[in-house]
Chain A
Amino acid sequence: MRKIDKSFPGVRALQGVDFTLCEGEIHALMGENGAGKSTLIKVLTGVYGKDGGTISLKDQGEVTIHSPQDAQNLGISTVYQEITLCPNLTVAENMYIGRTKGTIQHWKKMVQDADKILQNLDIPAKASQQLASCSIAVQQMVAIARAVDMDCKVLILDEPTSSLDEQEVEKLFGLMRDLKARGVGIIFVTHFLDQVYEVCDKITVLRDGTLVGEYEIKDLPRVQLVAKMLGKEMDDLSDIKSEQNTYQGDDADTKVFEAENLQSNAGIKPFDFYIKKGEVNGFTGLLGSGRSESVRAIFGADRVLQGTVKKNGKVVKIAKPLDAMKNGIAYLPEDRKVDGIIGDLSVRENIILALQVLTGFFRPFSKSQANKFADEYIKKLSIKTASADTPIKSLSGGNQQKVILARWLLTHPEYLILDEPTRGIDVGTKVDIQKLVLELASEGTSVTFISSETDEMLRTCSRLIVMRDRKMVGELSGDDLTQSKIMSTIAGGESES
């Protein structure tokens, strides 16, 4: 791709970006949110038309790609961050949908073929299984299997790992290396630096719609990569905890919230839990180990079956989210799109929503009051939006997350639960959020911070609760807070994970 230009109303999303992908190479495309990664990919796959520049393929020379169908025909396949398959169809149907020629479908052959491919790629799914019954990771792999089966020469993976746990990521990487050996060129978009260094050969960095450069992986140490993505030298990523001011009040030892024998209908075992004033703790464990379910139980997001929650030693009844909110608990949900944003509503309405609900049905904020709240937090969290009237769905992921964060900060919670607040957002915003957490804690807010990235949790949390198989299996604090200790606790003391 040469000198690609793309403009949107008001923004030049790409300015003269060059990108080269060789056969049998895994090429990381890096950049912050809004740097133009997704736009570049969408131009390459024909979702957007380009305003200038050329795209050439090895055999065909210069090509024009007007639609995703064109791209597919040229052997360019994409697996997006969000699963774009049909969950109510079977695995085999998903793999072959939109690719059959003619009107007659050999169902039996289709299922057999699909099974063969799945076996070949070592994907734990049956062709006749309904897609929705597979885990997210397997669904992702099915999407890749679909792409692979279409004889693709270029495979684009847009944040494929953001909803996978480590083992699944490993499996995916195995699949990627396998494809690479077969000569497929892979473009890999991710926010996880570790993964880039584990699997990629080359890195192309974009910033603000322009090309920063293309590098061999061995020539670009991690710190420099981050510096290039942000456009400035970054030293605070290394350790922000050292500069943290922990909460020093006299009541630092009081348990603000305590849960006893709490269980919800989301399939977790009953658990006990407490958090002290100004403490940052975290739940860790593999995906599906019950991290989210635990905090959802505390917030009343799932139906509570048994157990009690105490606030400052007194039992409070939390049957639904509103009860939790009234008791000063705020919950930033794991799935921003499904549980967080109200897509069509404006940034302003999204920010004031929680406080508005707390204030009451018959006491809506005046327009000027709402604007004041919105403007305050847009500034405070440096949310990038055209105006407070912009629908939240047109913001980038990181900025959407900041809006949701603003929504809860506005309620001035005593206890803030952040479930994967940094998923799918850029490094700069990640660090911002981590800093904010520590700042809030030093002011006396108790925070529970959940993240799939252990190093993030190590940087922020002073106590970690380890979950395995929907059960609390351990608690780590002080000197025990190390990567290896976490790993071994998650694995249950067994040597291999």
Chain B
Amino acid sequence: MSKDSAKGGFWKRLVSHQMFIPLVALILLAVINLVHDPSFFKITLGTNNAGFPVLSGSLITILDYGSELAILAIGMTLVTAASGGQDISVGATIAIAGSAMLRVLCGGDSRPDALAAPIIVGFIVACLAGMACGAFNGMLVAYFKIQPMIATLILFTAGRSIAAWINNNELPIVPDPKFGYFGSFIPGIPIPTTVFIAAACIIVIALVLRFTNLGLYTQAVGINESSSRLNGINPNFIKFITFVILGLCVAVAALIKVSRLSTINYSVIAKDIEMDAILAVALGGNSLAGGKFNMWASILGAYIIQFLTTTLYKFNVSSDALAAYKAVVVIILVVVSAPVFRDAISKLTKRKAKTQKEVG
């Protein structure tokens, strides 16, 4: 290690890059799996119950189940950057958006024979519900200056009850099998649909960041609000809009979540997902205090969390104990990516390089 750092800037630049630690974590997880059970990486083409070809394997599972998290990480990154706080209501608002979608699709009937409205209408309603929740949170944060975590605590607490109330506490089941495609496979296509949905979201945000000033504005507002204002930016609106964007991400995640079951369980759906979404942002090396962000690092962080979960399942960790194991790994990752730790390491390598020079 010290040999490389003595050689010059490349290694140092690599180590100090924001993507370095997430990538190392990913590689480490991959290596552990490779040693433990090489079949982890096997992808097989089989057929599902309906007789259509589907790809299966742990990697596919990770891509499939990491989708919701990756989509949420996009919105959470923007909210974090602009407001320096996090939205802890995303799990509850997924329940609201999902419930609203079911209400439209099933028309208030818990066991309908046919769809009461086209799926696209249901999805649009979910988007509106998600954005309305985001707007509510955003309004409290941007205009009433309430700390994000406190502001979103309201929907975190009330959201699942609101979701149940939307459908009179019934659990409607969507009759159309097509609705299930979003959370599984489209007949004839062996790749999970969620992968395409996540890819679409990632492409959209990449285009938005490339062709608008959203990135510059959110970072500027997150770093120095007062200065941003004097440069003609409206900090309140930027904060507000990031919450609305997160609301949209919530709606997409709700579509996937509800589609997986074709129904909803208000108290369980997307439970604790807000913590994983926040974690994805942190794992990507983004400051939770806001300001500069790297969207790709957050998305990578989301998949690492799913990678970790899947790995733990492979090690036969029971689902009850999963959280504890996950916490240990997360602690290590977060400590390693903390600036204090990184400074200490870079000092250590520098000293090593120095002594080596003196000897040599």
Contacts and interface: CB of A to CB of B under 8 A. Distances in A.
Interface of A: 299, 301, 320-322, 325, 331, 333, 338-345, 349, 353-354, 356-358, 360-362, 364, 407
Given A345-B220, A361-B213, A364-B211, A338 B227 contact: yes
Contacts of B219: 342, 344-345
B284 interface: no
Given A339-B230, A344-B219, 14 more contacts: A299-B230, A320-B229, A325-B232, A333-B230, A343-B223, A345-B219, A345-B223, A345-B292, A356-B216, A361-B212, A361-B213, A361-B214, A362-B211, A364-B216
B4 to A, nearest CB: 17
The number of chain B residues touching the other chain, given as a range, is: 20 to 34
B291 interface: yes
Contact of A339 (B217, B220, B226, B232): B226
Contacts of B229: 301, 320-321
B294 interface: no
A364 B210 CA distance: 8
A448 to B, nearest CB: 15
A150 B224 CA distance: 36
B220 A342 contact: yes
8 contacts: A320-B232, A322-B233, A333-B227, A338-B226, A340-B230, A344-B219, A353-B220, A358-B232
B291 A321 contact: no
B318 interface: no
A102 to B, nearest CB: 29
A340 B225 CA distance: 10
B45 to A, nearest CB: 42
Contact of A344 (B213, B214, B223, B234): B223
A320 B227 CA distance: 13
A370 to B, nearest CB: 10
Contacts of A345: 219-220, 223, 292
Contacts of B316: none
B228 interface: yes
Nearest to A349: B216
A338 B224 CA distance: 7
Contacts of A299: 230
A326 to B, nearest CB: 8
Contact of B228 (A342, A344, A358, A362): A342
Contacts of A342: 219-220, 223-224, 227-228
Chief secondary structure at chain B's binding surface: helix
A364 B209 CA distance: 9
Contacts of A331: 230
B230 A321 contact: yes
B227 A339 contact: yes
Contacts of A353: 216, 220, 231
A404 to B, nearest CB: 9
B29 to A, nearest CB: 30
Which of B224, B230, B231: most chain A Cβ within 10 A? B231
Interface of B: 210-214, 216-217, 219-220, 223-224, 226-234, 291-292
A357 B220 CA distance: 11
Nearest to A323: B232
A124 to B, nearest CB: 29
A296 B212 CA distance: 29
A356 B213 CA distance: 8
A321 B214 CA distance: 19
Contacts of A340: 227, 230
B217 A361 contact: yes
A342 B211 CA distance: 22
A338 B225 CA distance: 9
Which of B214, B216, B224, B232: most chain A Cβ within 10 A? B232
Nearest to A333: B230
A38 B230 CA distance: 30
Contacts of A354: 231-232
Contact of A362 (B212, B226, B230, B291): B212
A407 B226 CA distance: 16
Nearest to A340: B227
Contacts of A343: 223-224
Contacts of A356: 213, 216
Contacts of B211: 362, 364
A357 B232 CA distance: 6
A342 B219 CA distance: 9
A24 to B, nearest CB: 40
Contacts of B233: 322, 357
Contacts of B210: 364
Given A325-B232, A364-B211, A344 B292 contact: yes
A331 B291 CA distance: 23
Contacts of A320: 229, 232, 234
Contacts of A333: 227, 230
A481 B216 CA distance: 44
Contact of A301 (B213, B230, B234, B292): B230
A368 to B, nearest CB: 14
Which of A340, A344, A358: most chain B Cβ within 10 A? A344
Given A356-B216, A362-B212, A364-B216, A341 B232 contact: no
Contact of B231 (A321, A338, A364): A321
